[in-house]
């Protein structure tokens, strides 16, 4: 996946992303940073950690998700 600064996402083979999906990082009511993604009025936010080249998002319908940056 490619997380573009303008909020768009590019998927990969086997992990398609709808072209209208947008992402952002924002704070929840307690000030904790969350990764959020939305397609129109439907969206979700998840807590995350970012360490080096690894992004881990917690929770979700299939459990935690891990992304690693590749050159």
CA distances 34 to 28, 50, 51, Å, are: 7, 11, 15
Per-residue pLDDT reduced to its tens digit, 11-65 = 887 888 888 999 999 999 999 999 999 998 888 999 999 999 999 999 878 889 8
Helix, strand, coil percentages, rounded to 5, for the chain: 0, 55, 45
Q: What is the dihedral of CA 27, 59, 23, 32, to 10 degrees?
A: 10
């Amino acid at each position: 996946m490619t997380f573009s600064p303008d909020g768009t996402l590019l998927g990969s083979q086997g992990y398609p992303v709808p072209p209208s999906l947008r992402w952002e990082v924002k704070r929840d009511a307690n000030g904790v940073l969350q990764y959020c993604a939305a397609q129109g009025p439907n969206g979700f936010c998840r807590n995350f950690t970012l360490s080096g080249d690894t992004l881990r998002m917690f929770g979700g319908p299939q459990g935690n998700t891990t992304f690693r940056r590749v050159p």
